[in-house]
Amino acid sequence: MAGIGFRLRKMLDQESYLATIQAYLYSGLISSGPWLITVLVLGAISLLQRGAGHWSCEQTIFRPTVVYAYAFSLIVVGILQMPLTRYLADLLFARDFAMYLPTYVGALVLVGGIQLAIGATAVFGFADWPLAYAAHAVMLYVTVSLTWVAIIFVSAAKDFYSISLAYVVGGIVSVGAGYGLQNVRGDDGYMLGFALGQIVTFLLLSLRLVVEFPSALAVSFDFLRYLRRFPSLAIVGFSYNLAIWADKILFWLGKPGRQVDAFLHACELYDVPIFLAYLTILPSMSLFLIRIETSFYRAYKGFYSAIVHKRSLPAIHRERDSLADSMRLSIGRLLKVQGTVSLVCIAAAPYLVGPLRLDWAYLSVLRIGILGAFLQVLFLLASIALLYFEFRTETMLLTLAFLLTNVAASWITLQLGVAYYGYGYLTASFVALLAAVIVLDRRVAALEYITFMQQPIG
């Protein structure tokens, strides 16, 4: 994302309040668009339903279906996410733009085929839904999967306005079509309308890529060799995405969860406050994209440029120290900004229960979730830094630890009772962050030694 971050940062150089606001809004949409728009769309549909005096989407199978579509599509696509990202980075470094669009088409064909098979098998094999609803649910699942792929590619696009517009337009279509069709078709209207909005987002993102990266080659599956070349990256993507959802799945199937139908499970007591807690980390994601990653990349490039150009050892040490200072400054900035936002949200949580029409039982989980999300986003950014330095094995072990700790700690809190809900996720985020910081600090302290020792002899 550093490339689009540099382009957004140019807006800040205009030194106007309007340009600054626009830059951070674009940054937030680009870094967090899918889940941000989805939460807002579901909230808008629910409020419209309540305002009209109809049954809200919480009382139907619609919302659990959407959650399942996003959860399991992200987990499966996670296997390809990191190797594909690495392959695209290598293409961009080599300035081989002609392979960009064919690779996109190849990834869509592969992911679309696999996810269609998985979605159709799960829905038609185990769910007892009406045929139309089942077909539209599968359509949503495949579309969301393809959108995850598109997001990997659009980070290289220059037109961040079009990318942001795609999310907004798709969200508006989802709200309008979902609410309108519900009056005619019930739950299936919800699903069809929501899916149509996601299709609009996917098509607009794809159009942006076609315009910006034209190619005479139709399709390429060359990226698949990176799955064999970097298996640790496949494990990182899969285990991290599974870790995000592991605690939710446990609560769905545990005592506080409820069986919505033969196929779906939900746990509003846990899901709703945790999803709201995720919204509070939007400032961190925006700040990372527009300032932190760009500053870090400059220092990172300076260090490796000093090695490539065979500068003296003291000069390399100075560049390494500059890189370490940049990382410390970035962490400090994140702690100030996101820490302040999180503390304010925790303090304001009781005042949000009424306006958002939440159950007071959500309050404790919401506060713990806000703190857990804060620690999780710091862990994510530390993991990204490790991957910049090619510490793939370390990152793989850290994400696996995050997954296993979240499963174990969340299971324990389930046994302890409602007063402890959320503490498992908080514990996992803290342990993962602490381990990541220790690993990152030690690796950066010996970075020049590790860099030279990793080079092939001869």
Q: Are 420 and 413 in contact (CB under 8 A)?
A: yes
Choose the weakest-confidence range: 116-130, 271-285, 362-376: 271-285
Position with higher pLDDT, 52 vs 312: 312
> Which two tokens mark 18?
């309007």
Residue 337 is predicted with a pLDDT of 81
Q: What is the pTM of this model?
A: 0.87
Nearest-10 Cα torsion for 164, 165, 171, 174: -140
Interval 38-62 mean pLDDT: 63
Q: Is the pLDDT of residue 355 over 60?
A: yes
Q: In 10 A of CB 38, how many CB atoms? A: 23
Q: Is the pLDDT of residue 65 over 80?
A: yes
> Which two tokens mark 409?
């700690």
Interval 383-399 mean pLDDT: 91
Residue 46 is predicted with a pLDDT of 67
Position with higher pLDDT, 334 vs 346: 346
CA 453 to chain CA mean position, Å: 34
Residue 427 is predicted with a pLDDT of 96
How many residues in the chain?
Answer: 458
CA distance 345 to 347: 5
Q: Is the pLDDT of residue 53 over 70?
A: no
CA distance 357 to 342: 21
CA distances in angstroms from 387 to 85, 115, 174, 230, 431, listed in the order given: 11, 27, 36, 12, 19
Residue 55 is predicted with a pLDDT of 47
Residue 177 is predicted with a pLDDT of 85
pLDDT 10s digits, 139-159: 999 999 999 999 888 876 666
DSSP states of 368-410 as a string? HHHHHHHHHHHHHHHHHHHHHTT-HHHHHHHHHHHHHHHHHHH
Residue 3 is predicted with a pLDDT of 53
Nearest-10 Cα torsion for 101, 106, 112, 115: -130
Q: What percent of the chain has pLDDT over 90?
A: 37
Q: Are 426 and 372 in contact (CB under 8 A)?
A: yes
Choose the weakest-confidence range: 219-223, 281-285, 291-295: 291-295
Amino acid at site 294:
T
CA distance 87 to 286: 25
Q: Are 204 and 169 in contact (CB under 8 A)?
A: yes
Nearest-10 Cα torsion for 412, 413, 414, 415: 60
Spans of all domains in the chain: 2-229, 278-452
DSSP states of 22-34 as a string? HHHHHHHHHHHHH
Interval 2-13 mean pLDDT: 54
Strand partners, 266: 258
CA distance 244 to 373: 10
Whose structure tokens read 């539209």?
136
Residue 75 is predicted with a pLDDT of 95
Count each helix (H run) and each strand (E run) in the chain, helices first: 17, 2
Residue 74 is predicted with a pLDDT of 92
CA distance 310 to 290: 31
Position with higher pLDDT, 82 vs 303: 82
> Which two tokens mark 283?
């400032």
CA distance 134 to 146: 19
Give the SS3 label for residue 258. strand
pLDDT 10s digits, 208-257: 888 888 888 889 999 999 999 999 999 999 999 999 999 999 999 998 88
Position with higher pLDDT, 145 vs 30: 145
Across all residues in the chain, what is the average pLDDT?
A: 83
DSSP states of 69-134 as a string? HHHHHHHHHHHHHHHHHHHHHHHHHTT-GGGHHHHHHHHHHHHHHHHHHHHHHHHHHH----HHHH
CA distance 355 to 18: 29
pLDDT 10s digits, 85-139: 889 888 888 888 889 899 999 999 999 999 999 999 999 988 889 899 999 999 9
Q: Is the pLDDT of residue 25 over 70?
A: no
Phi, psi of 267 (to 5 degrees): -150, 85
pLDDT 10s digits, 168-202: 888 889 888 887 887 777 778 888 988 999 999 99
CA distances in angstroms from 130 to 62, 154, 184, listed in the order given: 13, 36, 15
Cβ neighbourhood burial of 333 (10 Å; 0-12, 13-18, 19+) = middle
CA angle 408, 411, 416 (to 5 degrees): 125
Q: Is the pLDDT of residue 17 over 60?
A: no
